[in-house]
Amino acid sequence: MGYINNKRKTLALLTAVATLAGGLTAGTAYAGGGGGNRPGTGGSGAATQFWQYKDDASGSWGPATDINSVSRAMANAGVRMDDSSGKAAAALADANSRCVAGFHQRHPGEGDGDCRVVAVGAVSGNGSTTSVWNGSGIADVSIWLDNWNKYIAPGDYNYAGTRHYKTSTAFDDDPSTSVDKLMERYVSSTASIVIIALDKYQPAPPNYDLTVTTTHKQRTNLKVGSTDPIGDTLHA
């Protein structure tokens, strides 16, 4: 689900500085999930901030290793992604690397966590380019938060179609973190894009309903002492 909020305002030209993770050490603690952002360049004119969120029985926006996951989210908002600046790819790489690093820390030896993109927020240009995201648009942090709190946070999400949650739901493997808290960590008045990725156990592992039945195969006229093979077929 998503929402587009048009607001015309004059923005002072500024130099935006990306806040990037520094060198990592063995003692680095990672919060659950992962996020990434990249700054816009500012300008004057209309800027359109929007969020897109998806996590249900049909899946998320896609793997956190695939830039198409981001373009799909934007397309759902009616926005074409122009990533010639590489900002979306860089933000996605940051979100995935943080998601994977956190999963390794909390679940060693269980792979990379199958991190998935659940949320994409962006500001789609200025002036006549509001239907195109090219990494230049920015919006005040209050707009990012208002749109999230009005149109994303109230929603009900259903990971894999079996695990209901809200964006405020604490993660099972990291109770100090939720999707809301990840969002708050990465939005800013200089951000042009924010991407949130969750691993396969977040906010909690899916519920699986496993039903087992058997098909009786052996003959019914077996005699005591028989060495004939017997067996049933299990169906899960």
The pair phi, psi for residue 91, each rounded to 5°, is -65, -40
Full-model pTM? 0.73
pLDDT at site 6: 39
State how far the Cα of 163 lies from the Cα of 209, in Å rounded to an integer.
12
Q: How many degrees, rounded to 5, is the angle at CA 215 between CA 214 and CA 220?
A: 120
Q: Could you tell me if 61 and 72 are in contact, meaning their C-beta atoms sit under 8 angstroms apart?
A: yes
The total number of residues written for the chain in this structure: 236
pLDDT at site 207: 80
Question: Among positive and negative, which fits the CA dihedral 121, 97, 180, 76?
Answer: positive
* CA-based R_g, the chain, Å: 23
pLDDT at site 108: 97
pLDDT at site 148: 98
Q: Is residue 74 part of a domain?
A: yes
Q: Is residue 22 part of a domain?
A: yes
User: Cβ-count burial of 138 within 10 angstroms (0-12 exposed, 13-18 middle, 19+ buried)?
Assistant: buried
Cis peptide before 203 (omega within 30 of 0): yes
pLDDT at site 47: 65
State how far the Cα of 181 lies from the Cα of 169, in Å rounded to an integer.
10
Range of 89's domain? 2-209
Q: Is residue 35 part of a domain?
A: yes
pLDDT at site 125: 73
pLDDT at site 112: 96
Q: What is the pLDDT along the chain (236 residues), one digit of tens a residue?
A: 554 443 333 222 222 222 222 222 223 233 455 554 444 544 444 568 999 999 999 999 999 999 999 999 999 999 999 999 999 999 999 999 999 999 999 999 999 999 999 999 999 976 666 689 999 899 999 999 999 999 999 999 999 999 999 999 999 989 999 999 999 999 999 999 999 999 999 999 988 554 445 555 555 555 655 566 655 555 55
Q: Is residue 55 part of a domain?
A: yes
Q: Is residue 231 part of a domain?
A: no
Number of domains present in the structure of the chain:
1
Q: Is residue 232 part of a domain?
A: no
Q: Is residue 203 part of a domain?
A: yes
Q: Is residue 47 part of a domain?
A: yes
User: Under DSSP, is residue 206 helix (H, G, I), strand (E, B) or coil?
Assistant: coil
- Dig out the tokens for 104 from the structure: 């390794």
